[in-house]
Amino acid sequence: MRRHVFLSVLIWLLEIVLVAALMSERWTQWIQDEEERMLLEYFGPEKAAELQRTAMDKFDALFVRTGIRESVYAYFIPTEAERQRSKGFEDLGRYDLFPFLESRLNVLFESLFQMVYRAVVTAAWLPFLGVAVVPFAIDGLVRRKIRQTNFAYSSPVAHRYSLYVILGIAYLLLVVWTLPVPVPPQSIPIGLFVVACALNVLLTNTQKRI
């Protein structure tokens, strides 16, 4: 189990690195514009603006006000004062290497903002998760209780694979936060509905005695 978790996290981190290395700034801007347009159409201007402000506040709190973004840029890109102190190397990488590094860092932090933005949108759907999960969970517990009384068969296969579905959706949600393509806002409630259905099957087929 630990090995699978480690590999999953490793793949997710590799995705972030590949996005930062291969995507263009124009593409990241297009992703943001498309998702903002879809959110505007789906939630309306007031809610979309609220989500945008919340995402910006969270991003600033994590990366700007903490000084992380400034420190990363300063580590990889020398200032003009640092150039002047490097006698004989003032123009080293000025027109090729450091502009390339700056564009990669721009893509990285734009991707991190998009990740925060998608996390905020996901959090906006959490009340829906409660509304969806509670009835399915109650139904699953009732079905399990009925099976306890009439000695009906509880399928360990259904129990196991419903658990896999829940864990898989949770991991896919993490991956979706870093996908280098626009993510429709409708995909989140669909995923939450699948989790609710899988939870119902999980509880229904839980062994009769724990």
Beta-carbon contacts of 121 under 8 Å, excluding residues fewer than 6 positions away, are 39, 51, 185, 188
pLDDT band for position 151 (cuts 50, 70, 90): low
Residues with Cβ within 8 Å of residue 49, at least 6 apart in sequence: none
**Does the pLDDT at position 193 exceed 90?**
no
Give the C-alpha separation, 172 to 107, whole Å.
22
Mean pLDDT, the chain, rounded, equals 80
Residue 208 has pLDDT above 60, yes or no: no
Q: What is the pLDDT of residues 51-103, one digit of tens each?
A: 999 999 999 999 999 998 888 888 888 776 766 666 655 666 566 677 788 88
Q: Do the Cβ atoms of 107 and 25 come closer than 8 Å?
A: yes
Whose tokens are 């393509």? That residue is 181
Banded pLDDT at 132 (limits 50, 70, 90):
confident
pLDDT, position 74: 84
CA distance 72 to 91: 21
Judged against a pLDDT cut of 60, whether residue 209 lies above it is answered with: no
